[in-house]
């Protein structure tokens, strides 16, 4: 039933309203993932499917296994059991059964990883422009003028003054470094981005700016994101759905606002009711 058919005014310029294809194929699948360092330390029994354009939040307290799971999903930490599969075009790639070369190529071209500490994700001794251009060069781009143009475009995208293109990130504030790290990851047009507490180390005012930026970029670029955060307000703002982790296991999963407004598991209820409201 379209708006036009009902003669709503002013809608003449708007397209007829057809629900978008929501039957798209999965992008990533985890089956029975397990990586333990000790009893209930790490992650276990993790299975889920991620679809294109979805933002999945992993929430829970420190030590619940969120970061271990993120490492395992992103090709950085082989699981003890289980597997991670990623769809690359028409092929499904088994992340840890495939060769190191393929895994690295994925990481460089189709994936991004935004670290909590921008110093871990940036190359500090080289210029902002070179930080952004690096992934494009790794993909074979060599034309200096075009690399520089992409760097300028992305600095603008993440609201960094373009006159800073030749400065090294050492001279940047924490918030600027984090925005540069985001640009460096997104310049190559990844389909899936992993984020580990992307606003974790920042002042609240700086945090708001990064969150606003991430929200916009995720939508504009139709990115899939797996986001680790212990901050439920960040999760509400960015994530479509949540998995709540406790002692290495997922205790509850579902639509973000449903988990936060009608939590079912005793641990989730405790987590949600412990937030201080201002």
Partner 1 sequence: MDAILEVSGLAKKFVLHQPRPTVLDVLENVNFEISPGECLVLSGPSGAGKSTLLRLLYGNYLASSGSIRVRHGQGWLELVGAEPRRVLAARRHTLGYVSQFLRVIPRVTALDIVMEPALLRGYAKKAAQAKAEALLSRLDIPEKLWSLAPGAFSGGEQQRVNIARSFMVFWPVLLLDEPTASLDDKNRQIVLELIEEAKAAGSAIVGIFHDAHALDAVASRLLHMKNEGDSPHAP
Distance, in Å, from the CA atom of 214 to the CA atom of 142, rounded to the nearest integer, reads 28
What residues from 44 to 63 belong to the interface with partner 1 (CB under 8 A)? 51, 54
Q: Helix axis angle, 174-186 relative to 144-157, nearest 10°?
A: 130
What residues from 9 to 48 belong to the interface with partner 1 (CB under 8 A)? 10-11, 13-15, 17-20, 22
Nearer to partner 1, 94 or 262 (CB): 262
264 binds partner 1 (CB under 8 A): yes
Shortest CB 264 distance to partner 1, Å? 7
Site for partner 1 (CB under 8 A): which residue of 124, 162, 270, 275? 270
Q: Distance of CA 142 to CAs 24, 69, 183, 233, Å?
A: 35, 36, 19, 42
The alpha-helical segments, DSSP class H, found in the chain are 66-73, 100-109, 118-121, 128-138, 144-157, 174-186, 204-221, 232-238, 256-261, 266-273
Site for partner 1 (CB under 8 A): which residue of 145, 237, 250, 278? 237
Site for partner 1 (CB under 8 A): which residue of 69, 128, 211, 227? 211
Name the site residues for partner 1 (rule: CB under 8 A). Answer: 1-3, 5-8, 10-11, 13-15, 17-20, 22, 51, 54, 208-209, 211-212, 215, 219, 237, 240-241, 254-258, 261-262, 264, 266, 269-270, 273
């Amino acid at each position: 039933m379209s708006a036009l058919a009902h003669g709503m005014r002013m809608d003449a310029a708007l397209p007829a309203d057809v629900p978008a294809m929501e039957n798209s194929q999965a992008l990533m699948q985890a089956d029975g993932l397990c990586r333990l360092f000790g009893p209930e330390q790490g992650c276990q029994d993790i299975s889920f499917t991620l679809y294109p354009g979805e933002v999945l939040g992993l929430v829970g307290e420190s030590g619940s296994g969120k970061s271990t799971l993120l490492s395992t999903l992103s090709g950085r930490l082989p699981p003890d059991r289980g597997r991670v599969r990623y769809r690359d075009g028409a092929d499904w790639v088994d992340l840890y059964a495939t060769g190191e070369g393929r895994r690295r190529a994925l990481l460089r071209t189709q994936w991004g990883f935004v670290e909590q500490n921008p110093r871990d994700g940036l190359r500090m001794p080289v210029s902002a422009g070179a930080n952004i251009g690096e992934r494009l060069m790794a993909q074979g781009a060599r034309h200096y003028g075009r690399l520089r143009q992409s760097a300028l475009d992305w600095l603008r995208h993440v609201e960094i003054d373009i006159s800073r293109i030749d400065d090294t990130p050492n001279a940047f504030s924490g918030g600027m470094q984090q925005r540069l790290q985001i640009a460096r990851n997104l310049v190559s047009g990844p389909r899936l981005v992993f984020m580990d507490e992307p606003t974790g180390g920042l002042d609240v005012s700086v945090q708001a700016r990064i969150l606003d930026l991430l929200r916009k970029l995720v939508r504009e670029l139709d990115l899939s994101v797996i986001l680790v955060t212990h901050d439920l307000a960040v999760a509400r703002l960015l994530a479509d759905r949540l998995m709540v982790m406790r002692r290495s296991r997922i205790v509850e999963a579902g639509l973000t606002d449903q988990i936060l407004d009608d939590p079912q598991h005793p641990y989730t209820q405790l987590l949600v009711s412990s937030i201080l409201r201002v």
